[in-house]
Structure 1
Amino acid sequence: MRKLIAIVICLLLVFAGGRVANAQTGNLTPEILQQQEELANMAFDATNRGDFATAETYWTQILEKFPENPAVWSNRGNARVSQNKLEAALEDYQKAIELAPNVTDPYLNRGAALEGLGRWEEAIADYNHVLEMDPKDAMAYNNRGNAEAGLGKWDIAIADYKKSNEIAPNFAFARANYALALYQTGETTQALREMKNIVRKYPKFADMRAALTAAYWVTGEQGEAESNWVAAYGLDRRYKDINWVKNTRRWPPTMVMALEKFLKLQ
């Protein structure tokens, strides 16, 4: 599996109000419009269940009637990304961009897919374009930080994570990424302080519980490490899979090694 961005956390499901109807409705009957709306609802339901293959099928059916609707192309791209069909998703996002060049969502989504393929510079270009259109897009700053981290440009990534958090103080993953990047650059004291503050505000945030586990373990605070691990594992068992942490969640190398030391003794 190539690098699929977890933070699926970062892909936007809809834009343009989330509806499938557009100006292309002149020759369509109310029955057909209702049918397409029902298909869209079923696609979202399938997505919520994690059944992305079914969601993709529904979006494809909608495109047969609404081939000029950029939101549908973008949503099918999201369904494809969630199945790791990254190249196919790029084609969908490209079509959405052609149809709606001034809408930010397809660029954000395409950037995430490009990250999944390790095409960091191209992803950064998409995020830069989003920020040209909307300089206060917190997601674009966070995602650009992710791509910069992929290039090992940690100091630049830290600046973008910090900017994202300034724009959207409740964007928990931007704060988490900031803390992890600080740890990678050796700012362990500040990183630990950030992690604890995040957990204080979001006690069920598995990512930071797992990060605290790793950070405490390497400093010999075994009790704190074990306590946070019980919480992390209870919330999200994927953190026991070091490959998932490294390649999907994409923690920084130093943080990955710290967690791996803990897991080896479990």
Structure 2
Amino acid sequence: MGSALAAPTYTEQQLQAGEALAQKAIQASQQGDLQAAERDWTQLIEQFPDNPAVWSNRGSVRVSQNHLEEAIADFNRAIELAPYAPDPYLNRGTAYEGQSRYEDAIADYNKVLDLNPNDAAAYNNRGNAEAGRGQWQDAIADYRKAADLDRNFAFARVNYALALYQTGSTPEALAAMRNLVRKYPMFPDARAALAAALWEQKQQGEAESNWVAAIGIDKRYQDLDWVQNVRRWPPAMVAALQKFLNIE
């Protein structure tokens, strides 16, 4: 007699159909249709309820829609199914950050680093949570570590520069921003930050040229509320951008 706890077996046809539906969900997310992506992941959960990846992926889509409690429930289930997989902890940490539960987020990022000490994303995200708590030196150290682990991790590098600016290390911050703009000329976050910082340094011409480039790529940097609460720039950087935006 088979055990009632035996793992379910799936036919090749079921697995292929599941893979096709997962690709459809990923494509929907990439196209910005998050509701369709969530429906597809929900369907996959119904078909493969013991697969932690489908729970974690639905959680990520829910975070993108700011449905944070539902997302955390999904990550909790993924962690129950795969307690040694780092991704659900990393993703749950971002949901906790969205709720300003920075201690819980840091605990999850620490867990990721226990499982994988070289996870650059966990260092960067832990830096974000430390920044949320105002622990800027800790954040700087984590951003630097993330950038050292992944030399092409542009967001870790810009976060490092922004945190330096917050702590008054303006020359170092400006140098880091300029390096980013040289290496990634289409990176709007670095250009917008550089524009605001240069404006405070009375370097109006260079500030304005970087600003035109930044908003030509991403107009959201004109929205101070988005920069402060979604992108979550540090307070000193937000204040610098506000001065720049108020010039008219």
With structure 1 as the length reference, what TM-score do the two structures score?
A: 0.89
Instruction: Report what 1:121 is aligned to.
Output: 103
SS at 1:135's partner residue?
Answer: coil
- 1 CA distance for matches of 2:183 and 2:116? 28
Over the residues paired in the alignment, what is the CA RMSD in angstroms? 1.2
Map of 1:224 onto structure 2: 206
Q: Runs of 5+ in structure 1 lacking a partner?
A: 1-22
The CA distance in 1 between the partners of 2:104 and 2:12, in whole Å, is 42
Residue matched to 2:182: 200
Alignment-derived partner of residue 162 in structure 1: 144
Whether contact under 8 Å (1:138, 1:163) holds in the other structure is yes
Q: Which residue matches 1:78?
A: 60
Deviation at 1:212, TM superposition (A): 0.7
Find the aligned partners of 1:213 and 1:24 in 2 and give their Cα distance: 57
List structure 1 segments (4+ residues) > 2 angstroms apart after TM superposition: 28-35
Query: How far apart are the structure 1 equivalents of 2:11 and 2:184?
Result: 48
State the partner residue of 2:195: 213
Taking the aligned partners of 1:265 and 1:235, their CA distance within structure 2 comes to 21
What TM-score does the superposition give when structure 2 sets the normalisation length?
0.95
SS at match of 2:171: helix
Match of 2:3 in 1: none
Partner of 1:43: 25
**Correspondence 1:58-97 to 2 at 5 A:** 58-97=40-79
- 1:94 corresponds to which letter in structure 2? N
Could you say which residue in structure 2 is the equivalent of 1:33?
Answer: 15
Distance 1:258 1:39 in 2: 46
Which residue of the partner structure matches residue 254 of structure 1? Answer: 236
1:38-90 C-alpha deviation (Å, 9 max, x unpaired): 21111011011011111000000011110000000000001101110001000
Residues 24 and 66 of structure 1 are in contact (CA less than 8 Å); yes or no, is this contact kept in structure 2? no
CA distance in 2, matches of 1:84, 1:37: 26
Shift of 1:33: 2.7
Task: Please point out which of 132, 135, 139 is paired with 1:150.
Answer: 132
Question: 1:75-125 CA deviation, whole Å, 9 max, x = no partner?
Answer: 000110111000100000010011111111000000011000100000000
Tell me, in whole angstroms, the C-alpha distance in 1 between the residues paired with 2:115 and 2:53.
Answer: 18
- Confirm whether residue 182 of structure 1 aligns to residue 152 of structure 2: no
Quote the sequence identity (%): 62
Name the CA distance, whole Å, in 1 between partners of 2:118 and 2:14.
39
Alignment partners' CA distance in 2, 1:74 and 1:29: 23
Bigger relative CO (Cα 8 Å, ≥ 6 apart): 1
Shift of the alpha carbon at 1:30?
3.5
CA distance in 2, matches of 1:165, 1:137: 11
Shift of residue 135, structure 1, vs aligned partner: 1.0
Provide the rounded CA distance (Å) in 2 between the counterparts of 1:179 and 1:29: 51
Q: Residue 24 of structure 1: CA displacement?
A: 5.4
For the Cα contact (< 8 Å) 1:179–1:194, is it kept in 2?
yes
Q: CA deviation at 1:37?
A: 1.9
Q: Distance in 1 between matches of 2:149 and 2:221?
A: 29
Q: Report what 1:15 is aligned to.
A: none
3-state secondary structure, aligned to 1:67: coil
Is 1:111 the counterpart of 2:93? The answer is yes
